[in-house]
Structure 1
Amino acid sequence: MNAQPTPAAENGTVETDVLVIGSGAGGLAAAVTAAYHGLRVVVVEKADVCGGATAWSGGWAWTPGNPLAKADGVDEDPELFRTYLRHRLGERYDGARIDAFLEAVPHMVGFFEEKTRLQFTPGAKIRDIYGKTPGAGTGHRSVGPAPLDARRLSPRVRKLLRGQLYETSFLGMGIMAGPDLAKILSASQGSLPGLAYSAWRVGRHLLDLAVHRRGMHLVNGTALVGRLLQSADDLGVEVRVSTPAVRLLTADAAAHGGEHDGGRDDGGRVAGAVVRGVRPDGSEVEYEIRAARGVVLAAGGFPNDVERRRELFPKTPTGREHWTLAPKETTGDGITLGESVGALFQTDVESAAAWCPVSLVPYTVGKAPAFGRNGVFPHIMDRAKPGSIGVRRDGKRFVNEANGYYDYVSGLIAATPEGDAVESWQIADSRFVRKYPLGMAKPLPVPLFPYVRNGYLVKGRTLEELAAKCGIDPAGLRETVERFNENARLGVDPEFERGETEFNRYGGDAKVGPNPSLAPIEKGPFYAVKVVPGSFGTFAGLAADGRARVLRADGSAIAGLFVAGNDQANIMGGFYPAGGINLGPALTFGYVAGRELAGAEVYEDSGTVPAGRDHVRSCGAGSVAGTA
């Protein structure tokens, strides 16, 4: 794997079969698939490391009908998946693309599981979010990357791999949802096995930091990217970091020395791109990468494009009232490149953002700011734990806090009057913060005072004192908490039905009854953390068909141009029906794009013929030896 951003040919032109722009799940899936089928592949990445937002994600992918579920004896009728999505997506249900996704998913999982270093673990207990909707699943519709010892990665892959998002780690140590997280949380409740396990994990992590200067036990999105990168390395994929794509080349422009200026060219086949690299002396250089088969756009959408956010996100008058969990390099480059050759930027979606509630972490040394930035923490699991609620400044709840992260932000936006700041407070008592995380603040035995001292947590001896410090109406908060407590003791939530679905209950605490998602908030001191709109990425994107081809406004495909990941318009129409609906389609349509570029007609894992294909021929360049 070449990790250099400089030209590989003396005339400044690189020749390859496939050029992939971006190195998240979608881009790497396309690269690995195309390379497996014998194509020469170059991946260019704008950042100096690989993985994009995928590396900072939980790593779980919604993959209904996957072979791991079938191996566990769960073989669902695909019509159940369609039923669920039809009910959740309504008029935004795109039957053709949903069918293409559902057909390819099991083969995608089978291909990576059997032929590459990407090994999965089944999400046997991960529920679809809306459990009362017909067709909703109660498990086995997701897969995540198996944990990975980074010592099994080549040195060049370790160098290229983006690290764990610090805010979702413990001192940089990744924690995987499921048994790993459950054991660590049990330590805060006095479990001796949990304490021993936590001490072992932390001790191993600190030793790795001392020896290797990074954690070596990889989980979640970091493990997913690490496994994909190592698979790409095994197959000879060339990766060029610090190399943004500047403009696309069409076949005519490439034939005439690259004079195409990046303007609209609806007739030309996309045949590569001009990229910007850095020479060893630090100077920049632009050069061409010509791709005989085509280009895949997978640059991560536009979560850091302030102007597009201002235009497309609600109640965002300047575009800066929003905090994304995506790396700073995700500024819409793939969208802009696609538009330059006539692609349709599809904004007709329920939400242009993949919402997630976040809090801002003020890093300090003592009382002085540190690192020159705030951290951004995603509130994923804490909202569902019993004994916590979310309120606006009027002191009133606005949503079922235990539902999906998308619902929390959507509910907050809807409840916020025009002109008001879109913000909320997550409220909990002293019992809660001893047992569960409250945002980035960890439970026992980790002390809370650093989070109070730097202003991340607000502490009040009474609810009224807490409200005054947060700017919340004290009478409104008192009334809300008293009503919530009365119902929580009975295990009901008449206002928002919290704890009435499998998804809610699984996210709660099974040891708490009668409702694992509800407990009263009554023992002072009380704590609060400000929660604001954030996102994992974006849902608006380039129009595409079920073959991952980029489309024009008239529905015709642009020859030689494919799209995957958040550069592609979300197949769920801007809804969030299940966890992992970013990564599942990203991996799947990256896989589809790689197969299309290779002309593959037989699935690698089973030999069955894809729907709509008239001719069958054997494809494949052999499997990758060994697994990490």
Structure 2
Amino acid sequence: MNDIDVIVLGSGAAALTAAVTAHEYGARVAVFEKSDKIGGTSAWSGGQIWIPNHPHMAKGRTDSREEALTYLSALSHGMIDPAMAETFVDTGADMIRFLEARTPVHFYSIPDFPDYHSEFPGAKRTGGRTLECPPFPYQELGDWSDRMEASPYYPDYTKTVGETTLGQPVPQPASPEVKAQRRAVDARGMGAALVGRLMKACLDRGIEPQTGKRAMELIMNGAAVAGVRFEDGSTAHAPNVVIATGGFEWNKDLVRAFTRGPMTHPVSVPTNSGDGLKMAMRVGAMLGNMREAWWMPVIEVPTDLNSMGRQLFTYERTMPGGLMVNRKGKRFTNEASNYNAFGAAFHEQDVSAFTYANLPCWFIFNAAFYGHYPFLVGGLTDSFEAGATPPQWVPGAPTLRALAERVGIDPEGLEKTVARFNRHAEQADDPDFQRGEANNDLWWGDPRWRGDKRATLGPLGDGPYYAIEVKSGALGTKGGPLTDTRSRVLNVDGVVIEGLYCAGNAMASPMGMTYGGAGGTLGPAMVFGYLAGKDAGERSGGMTG
């Protein structure tokens, strides 16, 4: 296979954006996917993108380059390359306009969704930077519709984010008529909508991904890329290769070697085992941000609830009347924080015991809590209907002491913690971890108390009590080859490796430790996929009409 200008490895949002863009800039493009399904973790996701200063700001909302850069800098701990941050902020709107002008990809802003750290300078407390795609009719993909990834976490993909508690404190479900219209054309929302639209853009250009093709090695011509060798022994030759193969979160050896602490429960597609990372390392790529991931608290569930045997723990922990504790029975963080912030809490060291102080940990609640709030929904619910009683696999006991003894928590520690928590929660106060003070906390809380700390703060009432162990998980890793502002991979001397590009979770994330808001993974992934495709396409020919 030699009639290719650009090889794209992967088929998530970064990869497909790169492929479409490279084609539009005059390149002949081939896409190769390791799995037998298209879409990667992007297709499993909520499908939102976080893009500051974009062209779809709601009426009356404003944003600016300066505000966005101030916000990212405030969150960065000095770990964000200013040039990469500026490129992201300056290019996001261009990427959106480019795709909307040339492809079926279209976005609209999700109203009111606050940035994850709305208390920081430059943040948008009342939202505006998060966008999503309308549902896409999968019948337009023809036979490919059955070859697209389907999320085990969000099984009802007819919905948009705004129709669930992921995107609205009080969800606004579609009408029965709209739901019927969507079913008639196999319209899918969220991550499926984003990937479906990008896939249609590829198919419209004659780009049909080849599946079941695991890339193993870059073919080099001196210091320049010349192609790819696959696990099956076949090769593809091209002067430009875009690595967009996802992270390395499913490779236990790489996780152990690089990440800053345990990450035992990834919630991405299991094919994300670091293939692109290893390929780039073999040709001398400089690495960056390797200790970081898009952290996520996760709980184990029976496989009849979720084929992966795990669920994102985003929604339930924000409701009033529940709290999280470590083995000593002590609270250790604001339970309503954004999910990425839990990485730092999980990896806090007990320097005396030389252990992770907050692993294992548990979410503690009572029967009334379970009967009052939706549970085990991963945030994807369009109603506020509660459960009945917790399932048998959730440990329970009549008293806090008995519960602690059953699951391995210090009983006295738990009793003292709950007593203190209750005293303050009755006054909607949390002097220990300031739960309820950030807009993000209140967004995810009980919508009946919207705007009030009681949306997330309330005492733990009478027993029986229950405990669910919370695991350290991730949406994906954030480390990989360092790139320049054109997504070109740099070697260990800081020199561009000719023809090699990287985007998405395969690259050293331009976001450093930060997670600006909902869509903070996919937004940068698509921006740097766009830049990779643009540069590779320009090297190959030039802009098409």
- Taking structure 2 as the reference length, the TM-score comes to 0.90
Partner of 1:553: 492
Paired residue for 1:308, among 230, 254, 279? 254
How far the C-alpha of 1:447 sits from its partner, in A, is 5.3
For 1:137, give the aligned amino acid.
Answer: K
In the alignment, which residue of structure 2 is the partner of 1:430?
367
CA contact (8 A) 1:118 1:228 kept: yes
Q: Residue deviations 1:270-308, cap 9 Å, x none?
A: 1221224xxxxxxxx42221224x110000021111111
Per-residue deviation, 1:175? 4.9
Change (3 A) 1:473 1:204: farther
Instruction: Report deviation, 1:174.
Output: 6.0
Q: 1:511 to 1:538 in 2, by over 3 A?
A: same
Q: State how far apart, in whole Å, the 1-side matches of 2:178 and 2:59 are.
A: 32
Which residue is equivalent to 1:41?
Answer: 29
Letter in 2 for 1:61: I
Contact 1:167–1:375 (CA under 8 A) maintained in structure 2? no
Amino acid at match of 1:301: G
For residues 172-215 of structure 1, what are the alpha-carbon distances to aligned partners after superposition, in whole Å with 9 as ceiling and x for unaligned? 5565433333899979xxxxxx8xx699599969x96xx99xxx
Q: 2:161 aligns with which of 159, 171, 177?
A: 177
In the aligned structure 2, how far is the partner of 1:444 from the partner of 1:137? 27
How many angstroms does 1:39 deviate by? 2.2
Aligned residue in 2 for 1:160? 147
Cα distance, 1:65 vs. partner?
Answer: 0.7
The answer on 1:530 being equivalent to 2:514 is no
CA separation in 1, counterparts of 2:415 and 2:279? Answer: 53
How many Å separate the matches in 1 of 2:276 and 2:49?
Answer: 22
Alignment of structure 1 residues 1-80 onto 2, 5 Å: 13-69=1-57, 72-80=59-67
| 2:482 counterpart of 1:543 | yes
Q: SS where residue 154 of structure 1 aligns?
A: helix
Q: 1:131: how far off?
A: 2.1
1:94 maps to 2:120: no
> Structure 1 residues 301 and 444 mapped into 2: Cα distance closer, same or farther (>3 Å)?
closer
Secondary structure of 1:599 counterpart: helix
**Whole-angstrom distance in 2 between the partners of 1:448 and 1:244:** 46
Larger Rg, first or second structure (1 or 2)? 1
Q: Does 1:248 align with 2:236?
A: no
**d(CA) in 2 for partners of 1:322 and 1:272?**
34
Mapping for residues 455-494 of structure 1, pairs under 5 Å: 455=393, 457-494=394-431
Change (3 A) 1:236 1:385: same
8 A contact 2:374–2:387 mirrored in 1: no
- Distance in 2, Cα, partners of 1:575 & 1:446: 34
Matches within 5 A, 1:514-593: 514-593=453-532
Match for 1:595: what amino acid?
K
**1:385-434, CA deviations, whole angstroms, 9 ceiling, x for partnerless residues?**
22221111211110011111121232122165534682211122233223
Q: Give yes or no for the alignment of 1:335 onto 2:252.
A: no
1:385 pairs, out of 307, 311, 319, with 319
1:288 and 2:231 equivalent?
no
The corresponding residue for 2:69 is 82
* Contact 2:163–2:174 under 8 Å retained in 1: no
Alpha-carbon distance change, 39 to 203 in structure 1, aligned in 2, over 3 angstroms: closer
Q: Which whole-Å deviations, capped at 9, do the CAs of 1:540-584 have from their partners, x for residues lacking one?
A: 110101100000111111111111001110112233343322111
Provide the aligned C-alpha RMSD in A.
3.0
**Aligned partners of 2:119, 2:204: CA distance in 1, in Å?**
45
In the aligned structure 2, how far is the partner of 1:436 from the partner of 1:219? Answer: 25
Q: CA, structure 1 residues 133+433, in 2 after alignment: closer, same or farther (shift >3 Å)? A: same
Distance 1:185 1:133, change over 3 A: closer
Give aligned-pair identity as a percent.
32
SS in 1 for 2:206: coil
Which residue in the other structure is 2:202 paired with?
Answer: 232
- Partner amino acid, structure 2, of 1:299: T
Match of 1:360 in 2: 300
Change in 2 beyond 3 A, CA 1:375/1:120 = same
State the distance in 1 between where 2:187 and 2:416 align: 46
> 2:331 matched to which residue of 1?
397
- Take 2:312 and 2:295, find their aligned partners in 1: how far apart are those partners? 10
AA matched with 2:311? F
Match of 1:269 in 2: 224
Residue 141 of structure 2 aligns to which amino acid in structure 1?
S
Q: Which runs of 5+ in 1 are unaligned?
A: 1-12, 188-193, 253-266, 277-284, 365-369, 602-616, 622-628
Q: Distance in 2 between matches of 1:392 and 1:201?
A: 48
Identify if the C-alpha distance between structure 1 residues 83 and 15 changes in structure 2 by more than 3 Å, giving closer, same or farther: same
